[in-house]
Structure 1
Amino acid sequence: MTAASKDQSFNSDREINALKASDKRYTVKDKSRRGLFIEVKESGLKSWHYRYTIDGKQERIVLGQYPDLKLKDARELRDAAALLVAKGISPQQEKRSRREKKAAGETVKEFGDKYYQGVISKDRANPITMKRLLDNDIYPLIGDKRLTDITQADAVAVIWRKKDQGYDAAANQVRGLLKRMFDYAVTKNLMTFNPVLSIPSRHVFKYVERDRALSLNEIREFYTALLDSRVYRPRKLALLLSLLTLLRKSEMLNAKWEHIDFEQRIWHIPVTKNTTGGKNSRPMMVFMSDQVIEIFKELKTIAGNEPYVFVGRQSGTRIAHNVLNSAQKTALALTNVPHFTIHDLRRTASTLMNEKGFHADAIEACLNHTTKGMRGVYNKAVYADIRTAMMQEWSNYVHSIIYEPNLIFFNAGQQRIA
């Protein structure tokens, strides 16, 4: 079907329904209302438009879509717009003014909640971190402020609050979330500019390649302080699992009981590092040693029927990343061990295992690293048997370092699961 002729018109909903899509969009005018017409797109979508002239300039506005707006409704909207034109008021400018007034009254929290529901929750497989940043870091400082009143100073205050707490990487996450959220607000014509654009990421956080690995004495001193501290017991066990399993913090904290196969002695991790399910996201398996199984048995007695291994404050949730960070910092403050991060425990384990002569490719498989080059293309081995034996030997080695100074702690665990 070709585009409609200039003489084509309609005077009923039946005639509008009869309008079919063409290979080009076309318009058809209303017989009884000057300037009112309906546009039919190639997809078949039909929308109402009102064309008028004011101050010698032709303008038009979109009234809505058909069949949401029937002919009678569209004519009423057209008549209201025509009345504005008769008074010398542009309906287009009036519509824009109403939208801007509405935006002026919208707070950061109101818009942020919409952004979370409409964008973040749809784009991310695991949006929990973004929700926490909104609730804990953004809303408390600027949640009640109107979008149009947000300045660069407001954005700096939010970002540097996290940075001043010593969490530069998390501060950069806050900056990234604010930037994306305000970009969206600008796109929706709710803000005229994005104040975060003048805050370069490099001023917030600069990634530095780390090479920190703990010595045997540091491992003994840290874990003795940790296991003897007032830190909540499941968090102590989580930090111990970090060293025993070589897992990333996010991989461990997302563990659910449905992932733990006690019979097969395997911990299934369905989504790794890239939690959005991108190309770097690879399922993996952890072959559990006797010590790891004992830890999980104890954690199960604590978690009860909760789905997550590490239970959050509310039922059905897990603990946040910063909870484990705080536990590690609390224990570290009780020692003379130089600063290290939880992620450094992965490097510590990898370093010591390589020094002990364990199978290098099996260690890389435990780290869920991809082998580079052509060898990585063809080497898809899981090394199940090698890793099973290796992880047991590694757990034995770690326990030989920390077990004796912490007999009370480990005996308490045995009594709990007995």
Structure 2
Amino acid sequence: MPRRAVPLTESQVRGLEPRAARYSLADGNGLVIEVMTTGTKVWRFRYSLNGKRQPLATIGDYRMISLRVARAKAQKYAELVAQGISPVATARRDRGAEAKAELLREAAELYMATEMAGKSDEYRRTTRRALDKDVLPAIGGLPVKAVTAEHVVAICDRIKSRGSPKMALHTRNVVKRLYEYLIARQLATANPAEVVPARSIATFESRTRVLSGDEIGAMLHSIETSSIRRPLKIALHLLVLTMVRKSDLVESTWDEFDLDKALWRIGAARLKKDADQLVYLPQQAVTMLRELHRTRASATFVFPSVRGDDRPIAKSTLNQAVKALGLDVEHFVLHDFRRTAAAHLREMTEHAQTDKTSAKTRQSASREDSSRDAAEQRQIAQRWADFVDAQLDAARQSASRTG
């Protein structure tokens, strides 16, 4: 029985070095990567027809075709072979359809068709908007290797002149990620956006900036429609709803929660403080926590590590999950969301006590709360959760209209 091929990874394929003679590695399902003595890497498809081994069908150059796309093509060709049809003609047509990616416009289309295919709808939409509105009209006709940092700065300056510094920064990040992809595929040698500091384009002080309602909704919708694990989606949503610190959430244990009373008591010892912290949970948070409890993988931690040992996820896990979505506000979202909540709650709350109560004190207690104070804090927590829900619903509706 033939030995089953171990699937390749993008980083493994990217790191393959040329040897004195060309060689190939199998990914499985007939897909192989052939490495030439020049360093060029070519995807091939290995198959048999009528019980006879056939010459390899060429899928295309690795620089133009990612591992994910090559696998999809191999699957298509395997289905043809299963019907007794040679895939050679189809593979030839597919290769003819591949862009050369010599110009930035061509490279951007390749990027959107391959690297961006697995991203969320919102992420693809915002990336496409930045490319079509500002990047490609200005430099789309230039060769990939002719684009310089000066071009990127000029594009960002034009966007800032429209009064949109945040969009300028987003556009710079789109170009940066595009060139990271091209460099990995050996279609570019330098990243013109990498040498343009983000702070030179737009500076947002994390202690003063507040997300708008639209940004809250867009962020949560991107998380909701992403491919990250369900527990991480819930963790990010709870971070928004509860307004606690990231470490308080990821290290939380089930014995801290009384879901019947919608109360989360974070012990003073864990906080290294003199008193427990009380977090009054809105209905939405309780529903999410009950879902996690039904499918819990740990008797201790709410967000256990997937490694199987009884410990919580790493503190960096949520940062990495959001970074994978390509959100340009991820640092702010994870570290300063309480200020955003406080700002919106001040606008929503008319009585005077709200104006002198910060988000932090709303969610914590240094002494026993009176019944009236507890009821008020519960009301505020629910009001905030309902507001967040409304922003997410608006983002869903907007995506369905434009999708």
Which band: TM-score by shorter chain? 0.3 to 0.5
Q: TM-score, normalised by structure 1?
A: 0.41
